[in-house]
Structure 1
Amino acid sequence: MAEAWRFILLLIPLIAGGISIFFAFRLMKRYRIAFTSSFFYYMVFLYIFGTYSLAGAGILEQLLSRMEIDLKVIHSARLYAIFLGIPFLALAKFMFLRSITEFFQKKPATTFTIFYFLILTAVFVLFGVYMIRLNYFDLGEYRDFILLQRWVFIGFIWATYLFAYLYILFFSAEVSDLPAKKHIRVFGAWYLAFMVLCITPLALSGYHAIFRQVFLVVFLSWHLIPILFLTVYLNKYQEPESTLPDDFETSLLAFTEEHDISKRECDVIRLICRGLSNQEISDTLFISLQTVKDHTHRIFVKTGVRNRVQLSNMIR
């Protein structure tokens, strides 16, 4: 009976994680904006780490225990599985932080990117060096290293999601649309809850094996909830990429004359209706991002709309 429950607790997060990737992929295809693309790759890298390094390490431990392999060999196998998954974890967290910045039409600073990967590379190298010390020179204790690795992982989770939440709080203050601001902050709050629900069972995993399984369930399954809120947000505030109707230019011309829209503002509206983000409009029209935002603000004032979807619906 215990084996059946362990299998179910292992199967649930793997299936839920796969479903999360599917929905993230649909969002990326429907809304071709930088944020959804980065979020999709975050899900993919996180799933690889979760299945290979976390679930894989647990399965390996169970199999080797049944074969009555020496405990040091079992610990070593677990650590190797986690060690090889560190690059995927580093990429996953970076893509998450990148997606949050892109949510606000920004990009991670180059200095931050360099610093981030330098730190993670150093951790990866130190992890490998300690593994060599343990396996080939028998220096140190496996239990101490496993405990250290666990708390470093907890600190990494804490730093990543707390930073993301504070970033969302700070930059969402600039969002004038109150419903949109609410959705953005709720999305961040779900990931703050994810941080807490990951850290708690992980910190307790040394007391009972069930806590490791609970952690894996949360680590891979939780994303279905913020993806739901993200879907609601995008459906309401982001026009999906689409081809324009045949009579679009006629409708746009009548619309611009009615609302005294300038030629450049007309170009911006055309690209908005195609589903392009502010950054993509900036690149297409060869103007600065701030200029795009200024044009968009003036368009909203002239037409009395509050978001892109309302603007597109007025023309179509």
Structure 2
Amino acid sequence: MEFISLVIFIFSAAMAAGSILLVTRLLEEFAHPCFRSLFYHNLFISAFGFYGIWGQFIIMALAGSRLDPEIFSTISVLSLLLGLPFLVFAWMMLIRFAVEASGHKLRNWFTVVFLIVNFEIIAALSLVIRDMSFNDALPLFKYYYIAAALLFATMAATLIVRGDSVSPGRSDRIALALIITGGALAQSLSLLLIHHSAWMAMAFVFLLFAAITLMSLYLSYRADLKPVRLAEPLPLPNGFEDFIRKNEISPREAEIITEICNGLSNQEIADKLFISLQTVKDHTSRIYMKTNVRNRMQLMALVRGMDTGTAAGEHL
């Protein structure tokens, strides 16, 4: 079992890092707010997976034989309980991603109500299990996760399908809905059907990371995504030439900045300027470094802010 645990841990780490890197690349390539929500969803899911699940394996490996069974049981319950807030934020970001990917915006009151209700449920759960052993508390954790995961996955899938966004399009949104619901269902079945706690935990955490990885892979390599378009080409703002000179932007880099602000993707910029895609990526990376921004959205905000006197760095 130790070897299998190590293999699944390595796969979990690779999937967590890969999913976050893929969404980071999407953030740099497309100015769409849904990818920021997906980034945080993947981040919170990863935090729960490593803190709430793998943390128990690490404690067992390092000090399990030296700990009193009652103390180890208490630590295991606390580890799972303290990992639940990461799940709440992950589910909230999943719903936000679904709403934004469908072409709408999540209302502020929903976030407040969602967090209050879910943290009250966690508080109630903690009161119920405070004097329980890990084996007695585990079924409550399982049923809580199954009910919440299926509910929020269904909500997210419904919201993302019913939207009218063209990027991602309807067929892509249907595929994402299937990935979201399929992931939640597979995780729930692993909790219900696998009775050995260690095997159940490993299967569950593998499926947890697999779901965020599959969604990130689909968006990166299968979805027909389009950058946010402006109705008309962006006129150069006042001070753009001073901005170019101050940041030592080359003429070619200035052209790429203009096309990024007009909503063109890297491939479309390469086609328009008759240069390779890799050249566009290299220029874009240098532009980010020179202007002290992290992605397209920040660069566009920086350029658009020139007319209102926004200084470089104020967007951070």
Q: Report the TM-score, using the length of structure 2 for normalisation.
A: 0.68
How far does residue 43 in structure 1 lie from its aligned partner after superposition? 0.8
- AA aligned to 1:213 is M
The answer as to whether partners of 2:15 and 2:210 remain within 8 angstroms in 1 is yes
Whichever of the two has the greater Rg, that structure is: 1
The answer as to whether partners of 2:76 and 2:134 remain within 8 angstroms in 1 is no
Matches within 5 A, 1:285-300: none
Q: Does 1:210 pair with 2:199?
A: yes
Q: Report the TM-score, using the length of structure 1 for normalisation.
A: 0.68
Equivalence for 1:193: 182
**Alpha-carbon distance between aligned partners in 2 of 1:191 and 1:104, rounded to the nearest angstrom:** 14
How far does residue 198 in structure 1 lie from its aligned partner after superposition? 0.8
Equivalence for 1:11: 10
How far does residue 54 in structure 1 lie from its aligned partner after superposition? 1.2
Equivalence for 1:260: none
Equivalence for 2:107: 109
Equivalence for 1:89: 87
- AA aligned to 1:88 is F
Equivalence for 2:117: 119
- AA aligned to 1:160 is F
CA 1:239–1:76: 2 relative to 1, 3 Å: same
Matches within 5 A, 1:138-287: 140-171=132-163, 174=164, 180-232=169-221, 236-239=224-227, 273=263
The answer as to whether partners of 2:102 and 2:162 remain within 8 angstroms in 1 is no
How far does residue 240 in structure 1 lie from its aligned partner after superposition? 7.1
Equivalence for 1:27: 26
How far does residue 219 in structure 1 lie from its aligned partner after superposition? 0.6
Name the count of aligned residue pairs: 248
Aligned residues with identical type, % of pairs:
17
Q: Deviations over 1:186-225 (max 9, x none)?
A: 1111111111111111223433521211111111133222
The answer as to whether partners of 1:169 and 1:185 remain within 8 angstroms in 2 is yes
Alpha-carbon RMSD = 3.5
Unmatched 5+ stretches in structure 2: 237-258, 266-295, 305-316
Q: Pick which of 205-214 and 194-203 moved more.
A: 205-214
Q: Deviations over 1:38-58 (max 9, x none)?
A: 111111111111111111123
The answer as to whether partners of 1:64 and 1:74 remain within 8 angstroms in 2 is no
Equivalence for 1:73: 71
**Alpha-carbon distance between aligned partners in 1 of 2:210 and 2:28, rounded to the nearest angstrom:** 22
Unmatched 5+ stretches in structure 1: 135-139, 249-268, 285-316
CA 1:270–1:59: 2 relative to 1, 3 Å: closer
How far does residue 112 in structure 1 lie from its aligned partner after superposition? 2.5
Q: Deviations over 1:83-118 (max 9, x none)?
A: 222222111111111011011221223342222111
Three-state SS of the structure 2 residue aligned to 1:144 is helix
